[in-house]
Each structure stands twice: as structure tokens, then as C-alpha cells.
Amino acid sequence: MNRRQLLALVGGAALRPAFGAGKVMDEYDPANIKISHRMTIKSMSDDDLLFLKQLGVRWARIEFGEEASFDYMRATQQRLDKFGMKIFSGVHYAYRHLDVQLGRPGRDKKIEEYRRFLQDSGKLGIPVANYDFHPGNTYTTSEVTTARGYKAREFKLDDFRSKIEKQMHDREYSADDIWANYTYFMKAVLPVAAEANVKLALHPDDPPVEKMNGVAKVFTHYEGYKRAEQIAAGSKHWGLTFCVGTWSEGGTKMGKNVFEMIRDFGGRGKIIDIHFRNVSSPMPQFVETFPDEGYMDMYQVMKALRQVKFNGTIVPDHVPQLAGDSGIRRAGTAYCVAYMRALLRRANEEVG
């Protein structure tokens, strides 16, 4: 072996992955994590969709709103197909109607709308429906400019209590009230989801504050999710939209930390999709950051997801605003997607 051959051999070894054996899993392997993006499709141009295609995004969570007829959903599918994207999950806001979440007399009409949405999703092969259940929520108290110079949402519990909080509805609603309303909703929609082969993915309460604006919030900790799982009675069509940002906001008060939740629910196949977001610190005050700047180690999160063989979607969540960004925040979205792809590649190298 001459000197040139030796140097080539050493250099090639240095460029090979340090972890894992054999071929690294292809990004688009069905067993791999799927990088997706949340899309309010009505407001998106074809140029926006081309941009996402150029980033390598092949999966979508579609915010259909309440006007989602079967024909509209199918047309959306066909439009996305032109850009090489498929719908992984959909949102129909009939579930958010106050008649449903506060248990008012008109709830059955809105629930029936949601049941039709689940049936249509099943017919179209859309496998997941995302939902939440917090009818008295305040998400943020202000927008701030971070030390790095980008704009992001901030929540300060003291500011919320002293400046923003009010009784939002006709009366106070207890945890028992919300549990009763959630249970009624689940009993009405989960059998339809199962028949349609659509999974219901429950988002935690963001921020994880026990009561806001006179309404109790019940999905603010591990025990809330465990009770919801019991209500679902072991159905394989119930699971979590696990928001890493929300869970990080709660810190030690969540009952289990991010990694324990991934091992518990993820290890049993109950995590359906992930909101991949970081925050500056736990409550009572936090700023929503880019994934590389908050206090949570997002590489370890990605690695933990691969260790439990999670193969659902991860989406950038509450993307901060960079200079010149507006609309779908192209620069910030590109930053998040590229960072997530790099973490996923490394996790696949290490986990195998």
C-alpha cells in the first residue's frame, strides 16, 4: 500500500458514521420518523407548497377548519399530491365548539359534524385526527425579541393572573365538569374513529396551568393522560399528540418528564405525532425558542423517539419569527426542518 492509498483509507474512515453498523436508515423509510408541517391550506399558495417540497417535506398536518366537506378534503389531497406530499393528520374544529367542550345543549350537532369528518378521513386514507380540550385557554401573554434577535411568544404566569385573566364563560367550570364533557365526546367519536381506522391524537393543555379564565384544565400532567387512556378503554385508535414544548413548560410538575413519557406512552405505541418545540425554561415564565436554543436537549428527544421505534410525524411548532419573515415564516420553517433532519440523521446513526 502506497502513501496515497493509506491516506485515502484513513480519510474515508474518518468520514464514516461513528455510531451504528451498516447502512443508515433512509429518511423516507416507512419505519422512520416522518418530518411533517402544519398547514392552514386555504391561505397557502402553490409557491408555498413548492417551498416545502424543496425542503424535503413529504407529510402534512392540515388545518381544515369547519368547512371540511369530503370533496374539499379530497381536493386538498389531490393538490398536495402534485407536490409529493401526503396528509398524515387533519384538524376539524367542530370538536372545539363551546357546546362540545362546555357540555351545552347543542353539542350533539357539532359532534355529528366531527363524526362525519372522521368517516371522511377514513375513506380518504388520512390516518390521524388531532384534537385538544381546553375551552378557557390563554396561550401567551406577549411577544418578545430574544437575545438572539428573533421574535417569539412568551408566557408569564404572573402577567396572566394580574393583567389578562377573566371569567371567560357563563360560570366556573370544574375539573369534574371538563372530565364529564370530555368523556361524553370520546364515547361519541371514538367508535366512529375505530370503524374508520383513524387515530385520535390528544394534545396536552398549553400552557400546563391547572385553571385558566374560570375553566379547569385536565391534560396538564401525566395523570390526566392516564385517565384519558382509561376512558379510551385500551383502544388502539386513541393516543397522543405529544408536544415536547408544552411538556417542557411544566417541568417537574408534569408527573413524568419528556423522556419518561416517551418511554411510557411511546414504548406502547401510544404517541402518534410530535410537536418538536423547545422553551427557554419551565413555568412560571418561558419563551418559545428555536429547537437549538431552549433548555431541553432536543437531540436526546429525537434519540429517545428512535429508541422506542416511533414512526409517526414530527412537526415544527410555533416557529419563531426571523427578520423579514411573514406568512408561513419560510426562513424559520427552513431552519427548523433542517435542524430536525440533522438530528434525525444522527439519531438513526447512533440508534441503528
Looking at residue 1, its pLDDT comes to 52
For 87-125, the pLDDT digits (tens) are: 999 999 999 999 999 999 999 999 999 999 999 999 999
Helices (H), the chain: 3-15, 46-55, 70-81, 98-101, 107-124, 157-159, 175-196, 222-231, 244-250, 258-264, 298-307, 330-351
Residue 9 lies in a domain: no
Question: At 311, which CATH number?
Answer: 3.20.20.150
Looking at residue 30, its pLDDT comes to 86
The dihedral through the CA atoms of 325, 277, 19, 313 has a sign that is negative
Instruction: Name the one residue in this structure whose C-alpha cell is 402577567.
Output: 159
The stretch 152-169 carries a mean pLDDT of: 97
> 3-state DSSP call for residue 262?
helix
Chain centroid to Cα 51, Å, comes to 21
Looking at residue 77, its pLDDT comes to 97
Task: Name the phi and psi angles at 276, rounded to 5.
Answer: -95, 85
Residue 17 lies in a domain: no
Rounded to whole angstroms, how far apart are CA atoms 118 and 348?
A: 34
Q: Which three cell numbers stand for residue 109?
A: 350537532
Looking at residue 7, its pLDDT comes to 42
Half-sphere exposure of 263 (CA within 13 A, CB side): 6
Q: Which domain holds residue 164?
A: 30-351
For 194-246, the pLDDT digits (tens) are: 999 999 999 999 999 999 999 999 999 999 999 999 999 989 999 999 999 99
Chain centroid to Cα 69, Å, comes to 24
pTM: 0.92
Q: Is the pLDDT of residue 55 over 80?
A: yes
Q: Which three cell numbers stand for residue 141?
A: 401573554
Residue 256 lies in a domain: yes
Q: Is the pLDDT of residue 5 over 60?
A: no
33-42, 62-71, 119-128, 253-262: segment of lowest average pLDDT:
62-71
Rounded to whole angstroms, how far apart are CA atoms 81 and 75?
A: 10
For 272-331, the pLDDT digits (tens) are: 999 999 999 999 999 999 999 999 999 999 999 999 999 999 999 999 999 999 889 999
Residue 21 lies in a domain: no
The CA-atom distances, in angstroms, between 159 and each of 164, 185, 198, 283 are 7, 33, 40, 12
Task: Name the phi and psi angles at 349, rounded to 5.
Answer: -65, -40
Q: Could you tell me if 242 and 252 are in contact, meaning their C-beta atoms sit under 8 angstroms apart?
A: no
Structural domain count, the chain? 1
Q: Could you tell me if 289 and 146 are in contact, meaning their C-beta atoms sit under 8 angstroms apart?
A: yes
Q: Is the pLDDT of residue 20 over 50?
A: no
Looking at residue 15, its pLDDT comes to 43
Residue 166 lies in a domain: yes
Nearest to 157 by CA among 174, 169, 140: 140
For 203-214, the pLDDT digits (tens) are: 999 999 999 999
Residue 3 lies in a domain: no
Nearest to 90 by CA among 103, 105, 73, 78: 73
β pairing state of 34-39 and 211-212: unpaired
Residue 25 lies in a domain: no
Residue 308 lies in a domain: yes
User: Would you say how long the chain is, in residues?
Assistant: 352
Q: Could you tell me if 222 and 261 are in contact, meaning their C-beta atoms sit under 8 angstroms apart?
A: yes
